[in-house]
């Protein structure tokens, strides 16, 4: 856990931190290498996490969840990252519990919530959200995947890429065009099951980092989607996506902060023990200065992210502030981890050392959730 308690963490959340840390250390962390080899988290691990209360912690009890708030999701997310699982189960569960489940909770009708959320909380259905398209990147208004009207629903055609949980998910929220060009013609459709006619999963994509997190291409060829699987109103999908992205970007910022803190802690331990020229690396002034700078940046990032979490939990976090958090913390994370990795010398390039895996995992944080160039555009438009 972080050295000081964040202002948004009360005694209950502190107890949750301890519970999650113990569970993750004993039940999930030992499987990381296997997840990395297989390119995905196994369903048995999802089931164990559900039994421990790590899935859908912020979903109301009447829908099978833990009855908590986004603060509970943030605590779970951060403890998974602190254990080195942010690039595998951490990201997967955040997509599942803190994003997909909340789309259903916020925009689903009563029947949809009762049909999908309890199964997600039990780990029986794994959630994913499919926005990005080949050649489209962060341009959500330019979506080309189309859902044409059909008797009783729609026929969905198109392709998605870079979809987290794409190989394992069996409940996928798909952004598709059901109307005119631009933002007003986008709707959200929920796909159930993984073997539906007209649906095909592509490759489990080989990535630089986050190797234990399955990331996939998805293809739709006149796949039938029932009318009852529309989430929210037809043509209203873009506004729903924009509303939820602020929280998604905060989870990325929280992950970056934990990774900075973890990098400083790992590196400090290493340089205290490692010797060169008859003294420890920590005895060298350069080492001290590098770590002092990294520790300061981690502390500033923590204060920044915590202040925005307080606003988010009070219901007044705006999209611009969330973009600033995502931009600055992910850029700074990469600088801090790079500086720390350098102090490990050649060992910092060996994947058996956590700092090497952190270096590879961190790079994508400046890309997903909207690239940092898009974050700059959002911020600049408000100036």
Q: Hey, where are the domains in the chain? A: 11-125, 128-234, 238-381
Q: Report the distance separating Cα 98 and Cα 95, nearest Å.
A: 6
What is the average pLDDT across 157-170?
A: 95
**Assigned architecture for domain 128-234:** Beta Barrel (2.40)
Residue 179 has pLDDT above 90, yes or no: no
Question: In this structure, are residues 308 and 322 in contact, taking their beta carbons and an 8 Å threshold?
Answer: yes
Closest CA to 97 of 255, 248, 310: 248
Strands of the chain, DSSP E: 127-130, 146-150, 153-164, 171-177, 186-192, 199-204, 215-226, 230-231, 275-276, 279-280
State the pLDDT confidence band at 1, using cuts at 50, 70 and 90. Answer: very low
Give domain 238-381's CATH number out of 3.40.470.10, 1.20.140.10, 3.30.379.10, 3.30.310.50. Answer: 1.20.140.10
By the 8 A CB rule, do 66 and 16 touch?
A: no
The proportion of the chain whose per-residue pLDDT surpasses 90, expressed as a percent, equals 87
The answer to whether 248 is a known catalytic residue is yes
When pLDDT is averaged across residues 165-181 and rounded to a whole number, the result is 91
**DSSP tally for the chain: helices H, then strands E:** 12, 10
pLDDT tens digit string along 60-108? Answer: 999 999 999 999 999 999 999 999 999 999 999 999 999 999 999 999 9
**In this model, does residue 3 exceed pLDDT 80?**
no
Query: Which two tokens mark 30?
Result: 């030992």
The answer for residues whose C-beta is within 8 angstroms of residue 152's C-beta and 6 or more apart is: 226, 227
Among residues 248, 261, 331, 352, which one is catalytic? 248
Give the CATH class of 11-125: mainly alpha
pLDDT reported for residue 193:
76
Burial 23-52 (b: 16+ CB within 10 A, else e): bbeeebbebbeebbeebbbeeebbebbbeb
């Amino acid at each position: 856990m972080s050295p000081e308690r964040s202002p948004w963490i009360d005694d209950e959340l502190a107890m949750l931190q301890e519970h999650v840390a113990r569970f993750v250390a004993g039940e999930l962390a030992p499987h990381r290498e296997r997840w990395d080899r297989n390119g995905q988290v196994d369903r048995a691990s999802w089931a164990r996490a559900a039994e421990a209360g790590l899935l859908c912690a912020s979903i109301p009890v009447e829908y099978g969840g833990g009855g908590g708030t986004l603060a509970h999701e943030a605590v779970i997310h951060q403890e998974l990252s602190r254990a080195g699982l942010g690039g595998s189960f951490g990201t997967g569960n955040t997509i599942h519990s803190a994003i997909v489940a909340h789309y259903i909770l916020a925009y689903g009708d009563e029947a949809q919530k009762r049909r999908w959320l309890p199964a997600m909380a039990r780990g029986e259905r794994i959630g994913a959200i499919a926005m990005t398209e080949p050649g489209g990147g962060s341009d959500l208004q330019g979506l080309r995947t189309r859902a044409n009207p059909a008797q009783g629903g729609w026929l969905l055609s198109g392709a998605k890429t870079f979809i987290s949980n794409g190989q394992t998910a069996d409940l996928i929220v798909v952004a598709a065009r059901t109307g005119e060009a631009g933002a007003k013609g986008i709707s959200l459709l929920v796909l159930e099951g993984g073997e539906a006619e007209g649906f095909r999963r592509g490759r489990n994509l080989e990535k630089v980092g986050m190797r234990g997190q399955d990331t996939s291409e998805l293809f739709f060829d006149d796949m039938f989607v029932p009318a009852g699987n529309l989430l929210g109103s037809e043509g209203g999908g873009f506004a729903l996506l924009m509303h939820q992205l602020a929280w998604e970007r905060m989870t990325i910022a929280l992950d970056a902060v934990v990774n900075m803190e973890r990098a400083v802690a790992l590196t400090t331990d290493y340089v205290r023990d490692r010797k060169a020229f008859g003294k420890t690396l920590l005895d060298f002034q350069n080492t001290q200065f590098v770590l002092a700078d990294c520790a300061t940046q981690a502390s500033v990032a923590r204060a920044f992210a915590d202040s925005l979490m307080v606003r988010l939990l009070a219901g007044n976090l705006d999209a611009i502030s969330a973009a600033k958090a995502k931009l600055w913390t992910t850029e700074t994370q990469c600088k801090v981890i790079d500086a720390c990795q350098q102090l490990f010398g050649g060992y910092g390039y060996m994947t058996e050392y956590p700092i090497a895996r952190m270096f590879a995992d961190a790079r994508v944080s400046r890309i997903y959730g909207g690239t940092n160039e898009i974050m700059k555009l959002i911020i600049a438009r408000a100036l």
